[in-house]
């Protein structure tokens, strides 16, 4: 048997202690699969005295500083489980790569912001940089895209990649509760942070799609090019309306190759009821993609939690233990193409529109004419049909008008809704939610 592979683990929180669990529980299995033992030599966290899920740290060398662990001669792999797109996580990873140590990380924020540069640093130092756990926790999508689907031109990757949002939207739907109420429960249950803005605002899902876009399309990572909308404005009425129209609302992260470039977007999305992605409920994640030869794939599983995430971390470690080395993104980082952003105004798709209209003569005719002027055709309308209903009768009451459009260009939909909102037919701003077809 070869010499043991020596790990330095920085960060002993949810994922770090999950990793210690798998090393302890499945040590013999890992040695057999790797052809060598995998041992921890050094660890680092903020507070040495903290209890670590029943694990004794006595046999490991303790480091107060992650950078010192990263540079230590007695590790082969630096496992970064601290988190954050900069600060000690980034600094220590750079130190490890410069010291020719392999790096395994679960840190999507760091990879989303610095992935291309770190990949170049790893490859120029002849070491691996692996981040299977950074996208959708326990779902092994990185290896699938980088290895199993090599030889496919990928046209779209997408997923439900934030369990907090999916839990909130599922509970709103099933329990008929509003957003704030369910968010409070999610916080009590530990599914949402005290400051939930990263999750509900779509940033966390955007980090993941940024990483996936580079893998799927062979382009440099470009987090700042992602169009991001969170779920904060989704109401119970939207969810009920969508259900009546045959859809569920999910927070989707999507990257699509278009003629104008790559569209990267995170936003609440209507997905057809009965489609596999619509069935992904609660804290579960799913990641799907379309390739020219494989056609469609959807993987479903736990996107977070200490053990599922550690499962992905350990798979990267086993790869390194086996001596398998490959470019971080499947092709050398110096060959990644510059990212070309497809503007959202050019996005083509269907839309759910909800607005409150004043119940007075001419309103429906005006709405119909405005959509027609922008070449937008209506697929279905909920509650009131412009052709037949009582909305033309004069009174000052507000009537909800809910519709689904056929596919159109986003610039056209925005132009129509701006025009409508600038008249006295509509109270407040119309709401628009994109539809994803499968
Ligand atoms: N949790 C999940 O389900 C999950 C899923 C996928 C990916 N991830 C990613 O995995 C990483 C770790 O997440 P987590 O949930 O395990 O975080 P966590 O529970 O908050 O643990 C973070 C760990 O980092 C340590 N730490 C913080 N600042 C440090 C510093 N300056 N120097 C050294 N250690 C420091 C903390 O030390 P103390 O314990 O002493 O405070 C703690 O042990 C993040 O990048 C996260 O995005 C997490």
Q: Looking at the predicted structure, is the pLDDT value of residue 190 above 90?
A: no
- 208 is known as an active-site residue: yes
Question: Closest residue (by CA) to atom 10 of ligand 1?
Answer: 106
- What is the domain class of 141-301 according to CATH? alpha beta
| Average pLDDT score over residue span 380-384 | 79
Out of 2-6, 14-18, 154-158, 186-190, least confident range? 186-190
- For residue 436, pLDDT over 90 is answered with yes
Residues spanned by CATH 3.30.70.260 within the chain?
345-435
What share of the chain in percent tops pLDDT 70?
A: 97
341-365 pLDDT, tens digit per residue, is 999 999 999 999 999 999 888 998 9
7: nearest Cα among 126, 122, 86, 105: 105
**Nearest 10 degrees: CA dihedral of 340, 343, 348, 352?**
140
Site of tokens 């770090």: 16
> What is the pLDDT, as a whole number, of residue 383?
65
Residue-level pLDDT at 389: 41
Cβ-based neighbours of 187, under 8 Å, separated by 6 or more: 193, 194, 196
Mean pLDDT of 5-29: 97
**Predicted pLDDT of residue 159:** 98
pLDDT band at 385 (very low <50, low <70, confident <90, very high): very low
What three-state secondary structure class fits 65? coil
Is residue 217 within a helix (H) or strand (E), and if so which, with residue range?
helix 203-217
pTM over the 0.85 mark: yes
Q: For the chain, what is the mean pLDDT?
A: 95
Q: Is 240 left (phi over 0), alpha (psi -120 to 50) or beta?
A: alpha
- CATH topology classification for 5-134: Rossmann fold (3.40.50)
CB atoms within 10 A of CB 230: 23
DSSP summary character for residue 235: -
For the chain, where do the domains classified as CATH 3.40.50.720 start and end? 5-134
**Ligand 1 atom nearest 52 alpha carbon:** 39
What is the per-residue pLDDT across 44-56, written as a single tens digit (0 to 9) for each?
999 999 999 999 9
| pLDDT of res. 1 | 65
Q: Inform me whether the pLDDT recorded for 394 exceeds 90.
A: no
Burial of 132 (0-12, 13-18, 19+ CB in 10 A): buried
- Mean pLDDT score, 15-33: 97
The pLDDT, as a whole number, for residue 348 is 97
**Position 238 pLDDT exceeds 50:** yes
Residue pair 168/231 in contact by the 8 Å Cβ criterion: yes
CA 144 to chain CA centroid, Å, is 16
Does 167 have pLDDT greater than 90? Answer: yes
Average pLDDT, integer, range 288-299: 97
| Catalytic-labelled residue, pool 101, 208, 248, 250 | 208
Measured from the CA of 17, which atom of ligand 1 is nearest? 16
* CA–CA dist 387, 156 (Å, integer): 38
Q: What pLDDT was estimated at residue 392?
A: 42
d(CA 303, CA 308): 7
Q: Is 138:305 a contact under the CB 8 Å cutoff? A: yes
- How many angstroms from the chain centroid is the CA of residue 365? 41
CA–CA separation, 13 vs 306, rounded Å?
A: 8
Q: What is the per-residue pLDDT for 384? A: 52
Name, of 248-257, 387-396, 423-432, the range with top average pLDDT.
248-257
* Residue range(s) occupied by CATH 3.30.360.10 in the chain: 141-301
Tell me what the mean pLDDT of segment 219-230 comes to: 98
Report helix, strand or coil for 374: coil
Choosing among 3.30.70.260, 3.40.50.300, 3.40.50.2300, 3.30.70.3270, the CATH entry for 345-435 is 3.30.70.260
Residues with CB under 6 A from ligand 1: 10-16, 44-47, 50, 66, 81-83, 88, 106-108, 133, 137, 304-305, 309
């Amino acid at each position: 048997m070869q010499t043991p592979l020596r790990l330095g683990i920085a960060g002993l929180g949810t994922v770090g202690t999950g990793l210690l669990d798998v090393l302890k529980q499945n040590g013999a299995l890992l040695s057999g699969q790797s052809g060598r033992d995998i041992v921890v030599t050094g660890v680092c966290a903020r507070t040495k005295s903290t209890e670590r899920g029943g694990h004794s740290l006595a046999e490991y060398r303790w480091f107060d500083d992650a950078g010192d662990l990263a540079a230590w001669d007695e590790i082969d792999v630096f496992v970064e489980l601290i988190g954050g797109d900069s600060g000690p996580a980034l600094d220590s990873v750079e130190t490890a790569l410069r010291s020719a140590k392999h790096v395994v990380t679960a840190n999507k924020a760091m990879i989303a912001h610095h992935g291309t540069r770190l990949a170049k640093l790893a490859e120029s130092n002849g070491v691996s940089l692996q981040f299977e756990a950074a996208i959708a926790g326990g779902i092994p999508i990185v290896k699938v895209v980088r290895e199993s689907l090599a030889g496919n031109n990928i046209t779209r990757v997408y997923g439900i990649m934030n369990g907090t949002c999916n839990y909130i939207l599922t509970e709103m739907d099933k329990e008929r509760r509003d957003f704030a109420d369910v968010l409070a429960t999610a916080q009590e249950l530990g599914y949402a942070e005290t400051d939930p803005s990263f999750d509900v605002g779509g940033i966390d899902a955007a980090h993941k799609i940024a990483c996936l876009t580079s893998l799927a399309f062979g382009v440099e990572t470009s987090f700042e090019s992602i169009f991001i909308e969170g779920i904060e404005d989704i109401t119970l009425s939207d969810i009920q309306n969508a259900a009546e129209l045959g859809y569920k609302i999910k927070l989707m992260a999507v990257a699509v190759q278009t003629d104008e470039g790559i569209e990267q977007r995170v936003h609440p999305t209507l997905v057809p009821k009965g489609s596999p992605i619509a069935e992904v409920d609660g804290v579960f994640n799913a990641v799907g993609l379309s390739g020219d030869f494989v056609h469609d794939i959807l993987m479903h599983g736990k996107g977070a939690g200490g053990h599922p995430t550690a499962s992905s971390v350990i798979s990267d470690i086993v790869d390194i233990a086996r001596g398998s080395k490959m470019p971080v993104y499947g092709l050398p980082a110096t060959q990644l193409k510059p990212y070309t952003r497809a503007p959202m105004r050019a996005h083509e798709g269907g839309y759910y529109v909800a607005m409150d209209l004043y119940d007075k003569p001419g309103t429906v005719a005006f709405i119909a004419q405005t959509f027609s002027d922008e070449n937008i055709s209506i697929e279905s309308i909920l509650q009131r049909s412009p052709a037949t209903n009582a909305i033309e009768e004069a009174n000052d009451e507000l009537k909800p008008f809910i519709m689904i459009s056929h596919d159109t260009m986003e610039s056209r939909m925005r132009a129509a809704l701006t025009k409508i909102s600038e008249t006295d037919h509509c109270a407040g701003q119309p709401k628009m939610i994109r539809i994803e077809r499968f």
